[in-house]
Amino acid sequence: MKVKGKDNIVNLLQVKNFTETSADLYFYGDIVSSWWGAWDDTDQYPSSVRDFLNEAKGKNLNIYINSGGGAVFAGMAIYNMLKRHEGYKTVYVDGVAASIASVIALAGDKVIIPANAYFMIHKPWTSAYGNANDFREIADMLDKLEEGILNVYKEHLVDGVDIETIKEMVANETWMTGEEAAKYFNVEVGQAIEAVAYSGEMLNKFTNAPKILKEQMNRVHEQSLAEYRARLNFLKLKGGMIDE
């Protein structure tokens, strides 16, 4: 069983990613609402980002993203905090910026997406239970969330691209490479690099996720499981104990 540590900000500071003029911020897991929902050290949430930005006040930011998204309200809060940050923000999409992570990516003053990285936009969704009235309210809420997301996208469109085009792409869960994303959004196409495998849980929930991304994620999970089993066997041999 995982034992949670302190805020992710502690780990970030320990790797000394601050200089006198800049700071590095990583979104390499899922976007969650709070510390309680961060089941992996790579997950990010608003209060953690807030604390990071307080430490990085006035500094330029290098923001690295490899995330399948997550909680919409949390992602919107993070986007707004990043937009308010006083410092030049360069965003690098190292592997994937999907769902609400695509919104966070657009908080940068410069957004660089390599030709072999992915940018995905889709309609917000949720799981729920209740009666017909409850579901109507939930549908209305999802429509409002989509409106807010589209407002962000609209601010970052290439000249000549109509928001109605983006609405259709959102409705169809559209995955784009860096080159494709640059046709619609004000982003730069970076040189293709070795893609960083995404280890979060969101990809399996998407309909149109590229096969190569799912294969990478499965390999990461298999490797993590193999490492866990090896550690467990080692502890058994040594007569140690491990919580499960």
Catalytic residues: 99, 122
- The amino acid at residue 84 is R
Which residues lie closer than 8 Å to 122 by C-beta, 6 or more apart?
98, 99, 170, 172, 173, 174, 206
Query: Between the CA of residue 58 and those of 20, 71, 89, 221, 239, what are the distances in Å?
Result: 10, 27, 11, 38, 51
Q: 3-class SS at 217?
A: helix
Tell me phi and psi for residue 52, to 5 degrees: -60, -45
Q: Helix-strand-coil percent breakdown of the chain, rounded to 5?
A: 45, 20, 35
